[in-house]
């Protein structure tokens, strides 16, 4: 299976779903950002458009995915977990088995290669859960790039292990103490850095959001997930799934797997958003379910905001989904009805987190547990004839502190 | 004819640059910001930029970030902005508003333009809206006769300077450094070069901002710019005292009248 290697086809081929040349997916996307950064995103567009048809770039990227990131990732049927999903067959796309433990490596390897091509020496990144930060620090170590990661102070506490990991890999981690001290503030701070250092610095954005061309190129680097999964499920069961389920914070893993099936109209694409304490409370991050159109971090998309257009804080047990915006292509897919989006509460996600661990011996990231909880709901709705493909976007080792607190797994709580 | 032409015409007639002072509305309170802006007008600002506090000010350094947070915590609402603009006009001052784009989108572009014009505001500076995405705003500003001030940066290409010049009305805002707002010790050497490039595309006045905090720096900018824009230094002075605001304004007003060649 080599979905990435051929010029003019596969992962980087233009699709009927590409944005216009200024980055608009319908009314969404574009460039809502300071003039000072327009030259940098123009440069990135030029280099990306060249790279996506350059056999040398494609071969180098394909080689890194295969020999460094451990692709193709497996497709595993979760036979016992299926009982909790109404008996529907559940297949897991195992992005958790990639190097660094999540899908994030696909995008960082691609963008790090672009950074080298642009002749830039320094990379900055934002991170929420730390998965993108760790992946970026990893790629920078591999490719000899200086690396600075901005991380909300709240998240550095929730994900202390990942901070240590990034530092071990040679990155500088800067805790962000402004605003809500989470992912959105880390992005603000990274943008401020970028404006001041754009000559020698690439902003390695970690999700399919931000100004054009980020939503396009981040999506394309992750399309490998859907391309592999489609081939694998046809090999294993000889038919397409009824539903593809993925968690959506910014939406990069979801857009990557959705694109493998977007032209299969019978396949439902379902994004699972962080419902936090519930979407009737003010503590959630369900941007597509409850947000309003707005411009944030460079793109027009659904945004969680108050009636004055002030951005509100997102809340989720999962640091990686704790973001009040979402990638513009998801806003478009929602509007045209090609994808549907549902909220999953913290409690539902944590139930799925424990269930997958116990039934399959796979500890999922809490982010991915939202997709698993969605699969449980949808499976019960559709029954045992259904086939659900879940993007298991990351592994849960990083979430042990949260799990210890949630389930009382410490020494005193050890009752099972 | 732009709404701001009279301001720049008068300064040109006096052989000097205009002094343009920025303050966030609602900082530290709505009434407090009206008082400070009045002091700025009375003691020598030719034009004031009334900032709209925003939760995610990506182009601002720590001083203005903290001021915006404080204004929002004190309960500032977008509708309060228009009263602040009105108070500047009532004091005989000239006001434009500087705002990130999302609050305008949420308020409604057309409705925002209408209410700003009704309050006596003369235009809008949009640090995160480029002309490429501004069709609604261009239409609304034409409809309500408001100036639209877009930004150019040292990184802007000739094509973009040309596009931005053609889309702007009133003046062009040239960011003198690559970076966020905040007072700096040295005036950037990127600024004269940028202004020179801009002048090859337009006769429109050029205001230069980002980093100015003293009369001496203002004098350097006044040698090549039509307007000297000062922001963070006013926020710092406002936190200190009315006397500090007055002293800063007077120092800067002297500066724009004593242009010196950049060091």
B72-104 tens-digit pLDDT? 999 999 999 999 999 999 999 999 999 999 999
- pLDDT in the model for residue A180: 82
Nearest CA distance, A32 vs chain B (angstrom) = 5
Q: What residues have CB less than 8 Å from A137, skipping those under 6 apart?
A: A147, A149, A165, A166, A169, A170, A171
Do the Cβ atoms of A30 and B133 come within 8 Å? yes
Identify the structural domains of chain A with CATH numbers, from first to last: 15-69+104-214 (3.40.50.1100), 75-101+222-407 (3.40.50.1100)
Full domain range(s) for residue B140: 5-256
What are the CA-CA distances from residue B247 to residues B122, B166, B255 (Å)?
26, 37, 12
Cis peptide before B28 (omega within 30 of 0): yes
Contact A35 B156 (CB under 8 A): yes
Q: Which member of B56, B78, B101 has the closest CB to residue A311?
A: B56
Helix (H, G, I), strand (E, B) or coil at A54: coil
Of the listed ranges A115-124, A180-189, A277-286, B195-204, the one predicted with least confidence: A180-189
Secondary structure of chain B in HEC code, one letter for each residue: CCCCHHHHHHHHHCCCCEEEEEEECCCCCHHHHHHHHHHHHHCCCCEEEEECCCCCCCCCCHHHHHHHHHHHHCCCCHHHHHHHHHHHHHCCCCEEEECCHHHHHHHCHHHHHHHHHHCCCCEEECCCCCHHHCHHHHHHHHHCCCEEECEECCCCCHHHHHHHHHHCCCCEEEECCCCCCCCCCCCCCHHHHHHHHHHCCCCCCEEEECCCCCHHHHHHHHCCCCEEEECHHHHHHHHHCHHHHHHHHHHHHHHHCCCCCCC
The answer to whether residue B171 sits within a structural domain is yes
> What's the pLDDT score for residue B173?
97
In a domain, B88, yes or no: yes
Q: Is residue B135 part of a domain?
A: yes
Q: How far is residue A57's CA from residue A50's CA, in Å, rounded to a whole number?
A: 9
pLDDT score at A125: 98
Q: Do A309 and B102 touch (CB under 8 A)?
A: yes
Decide: helix, strand or coil at residue A10.
Answer: helix
| Cross-chain Cβ contact B130/A35 below 8 Å | yes
Which chain B residue has its CA at the smallest distance from A292's CA? B106
For B61, nearest residue in chain A (alpha carbons): A192
Bridge partners (DSSP) listed for residue A387:
A89
Q: Who contacts A397 (Cβ-Cβ below 8 Å, separation ≥6)?
A: A101, A363
- At residue A246, the 3 state secondary structure works out as strand
Q: Quick one: pLDDT band at residue A412, thresholds 50, 70, 90?
A: low
Question: Nearest residue of A to residue B175 by CA position?
Answer: A36
Residues of B with CB under 8 A from a CB of A: 54-59, 61-62, 65, 69, 72, 77-78, 101-107, 127-130, 132-133, 150-157, 160, 164, 175, 177-180
Assigned domain for B261 exists: no
Residues 6+ apart with CB under 8 A from B73: none
Question: Band of the pLDDT at A1, cuts 50, 70, 90?
Answer: low
User: Any CB–CB contact under 8 A between A39 and chain B?
Assistant: yes
Examine residue B97 and state whether it is found in any structural domain, yes or no. Answer: yes
Which residue is catalytic, options B60, B115, B147, B226? B60
Task: List pLDDT tens digits, range A263-273.
Answer: 999 999 999 99
Catalytic choice (A82, A93, A120, A126): A126
Is residue A215 within 8 Å of residue A299, measured between CB atoms? yes
Please pick, among A180, A331, A368, A393, the residue that the annotation labels catalytic: A393
Nearest to B106 among A32, A297, A309 (CB): A309
DSSP 8-state symbol, A364: B
Residue B58 falls within a domain, yes or no? yes
Q: What is the mean pLDDT of chain A?
A: 94
Mean pLDDT in residue range A74-92: 98
Return d(Cα A374, Cα A270) in angstroms, integer.
8
- Mean pLDDT, chain B, integer: 95
Dist CA A327 CA A190 (whole Å): 18
Q: Number of folded domains in chain B?
A: 1
pLDDT > 90: percent of chain B: 89
CATH code where residue B201 lies = 3.20.20.70
Contacts of B107 in chain A (CB under 8 A): 308-309
Asked whether residue A416 carries a pLDDT value surpassing 50, the answer given is: no
A304 touches chain B (CB under 8 A): no
Is the pLDDT higher at B179 or at A199?
A199
The continuous run of DSSP H or E covering A162 comes out as helix A160-168
**Active site annotation includes A104:** yes
Give the contacts of B207 (CB within 8 A, at least 6 positions apart).
B18, B20, B149, B171, B172, B173, B174, B225, B226, B227, B228, B229
- Using CA atoms, how far residue B199 sits from B152, B176, B222, in Å, is 12, 15, 15
DSSP state of A189: H
B116 and B147 Cβ atoms separated by less than 8 Å: no
Q: A278 and chain B: CB distance < 8 Å anywhere?
A: no
Report the chain B residue with the minimal C-alpha distance to residue A306: B106
Beta carbons of A125 and A205 less than 8 angstroms apart: yes
Q: Is residue B263 part of a domain?
A: no
Residues of chain B with C-beta less than 8 angstroms from the C-beta of A124: none
Q: What percent of chain A has pLDDT over 90?
A: 89
B182-193 mean pLDDT: 77
Phi, psi of A29 (to 5 degrees): 90, -135
- Give A200's pLDDT tier (boundaries 50, 70, 90): very high
Catalytic pick from A93, A104, A120, A184? A104
Residue A126 annotated in active site: yes
């Amino acid at each position: 299976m080599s979905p990435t290697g051929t010029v003019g086809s596969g992962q980087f081929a233009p699709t009927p779903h590409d944005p216009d040349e200024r980055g608009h997916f319908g009314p969404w996307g574009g460039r809502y950002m300071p003039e000072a950064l327009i030259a940098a995103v123009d440069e990135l567009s030029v280099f990306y458009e060249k790279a996506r048809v350059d056999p040398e770039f494609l071969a180098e990227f394909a080689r890194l995915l295969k020999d460094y990131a451990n692709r193709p990732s497996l497709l595993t049927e979760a036979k016992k977990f299926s009982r909790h999903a109404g008996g529907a067959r559940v297949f897991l796309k195992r992005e958790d088995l990639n190097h660094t433990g999540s899908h994030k490596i696909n995008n960082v390897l691609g963008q790090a290669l672009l950074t080298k091509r642009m002749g830039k020496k320094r990379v900055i990144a934002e991170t929420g859960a730390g998965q993108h930060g760790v992946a970026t620090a990893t790629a920078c170590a591999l490719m000899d790039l200086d690396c600075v990661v901005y991380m909300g102070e709240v998240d550095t506490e929730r994900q202390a292990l990942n901070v240590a990991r990034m530092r071990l890999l040679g990155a500088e981690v800067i805790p962000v103490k402004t605003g809500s001290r989470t992912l959105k503030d880390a992005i603000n701070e990274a943008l401020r850095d970028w404006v001041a250092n754009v000559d020698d610095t690439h902003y390695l954005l970690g999700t399919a959001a931000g100004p054009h061309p980020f939503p396009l190129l981040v999506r394309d680097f992750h399309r490998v997930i859907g391309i592999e999964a489609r081939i694998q499920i046809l090999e294993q069961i000889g038919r397409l799934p009824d539903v593809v389920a993925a968690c959506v914070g910014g939406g990069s893993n979801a857009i990557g797997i959705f694109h493998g099936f977007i032209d299969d109209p019978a396949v439902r694409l379902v994004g699972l958003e962080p419902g936090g304490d519930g979407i009737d409370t003010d503590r959630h991050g369900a941007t597509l379910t409850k947000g309003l159109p707005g411009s944030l971090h460079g793109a027009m998309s659904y945004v969680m905001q108050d009636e004055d257009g002030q951005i509100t804080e997102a809340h989720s047990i999962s640091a990686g989904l704790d973001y009040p915006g979402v990638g513009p292509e998801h806003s478009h897919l929602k509007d045209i009805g090609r994808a549907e989006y549902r909220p999953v509460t913290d409690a539902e996600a944590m139930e799925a987190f424990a269930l997958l661990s116990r039934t399959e011996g796979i500890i999922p990231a809490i982010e991915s547990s939202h997709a698993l909880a969605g699969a449980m709901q949808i499976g019960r709705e559709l029954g045992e004839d259904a086939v659900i493909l879940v993007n298991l976007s990351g592994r849960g080792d990083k979430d042990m502190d949260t799990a210890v607190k949630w389930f009382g797994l410490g020494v005193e709580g050890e009752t099972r | 004819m732009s709404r701001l032409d009279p301001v720049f015409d008068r300064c040109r007639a006096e052989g000097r640059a205009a002094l343009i002072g920025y303050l966030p509305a609602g900082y530290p309170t709505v009434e407090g910001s009206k008082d400070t802006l009045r002091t700025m007008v009375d003691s020598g600002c030719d034009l004031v930029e009334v900032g709209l506090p925003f939760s995610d000010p990506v182009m601002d350094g720590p001083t203005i970030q903290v001021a915006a947070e404080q204004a929002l915590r004190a309960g500032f609402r977008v509708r309060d902005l228009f009263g602040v603009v009105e108070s500047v006009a009532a004091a005989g001052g000239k006001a434009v508003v500087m705002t990130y784009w999302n609050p305008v989108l949420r308020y409604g572009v057309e409705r925002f333009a209408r209410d700003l014009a009704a309050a006596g505001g003369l235009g809008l500076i949009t640090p995160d809206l480029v002309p490429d995405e501004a069709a609604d705003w261009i239409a609304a500003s034409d409809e309500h006769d408001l100036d639209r001030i877009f930004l150019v940066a040292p990184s802007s290409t000739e094509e973009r300077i040309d596009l931005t010049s053609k889309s702007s009305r009133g003046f062009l805002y040239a960011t003198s450094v690559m970076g966020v707002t905040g007072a700096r010790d040295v005036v950037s050497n990127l600024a004269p070069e940028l202004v020179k490039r801009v002048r090859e595309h337009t006769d429109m006045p050029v205001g230069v901002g980002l980093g100015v905090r003293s009369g001496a720096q203002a004098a350097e900018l006044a040698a090549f710019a039509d307007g000297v824009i000062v922001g963070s230094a006013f926020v710092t002075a406002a936190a200190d005292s009315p006397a500090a605001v007055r002293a800063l304004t007077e120092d800067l007003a002297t500066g724009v009248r004593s242009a010196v060649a950049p060091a």
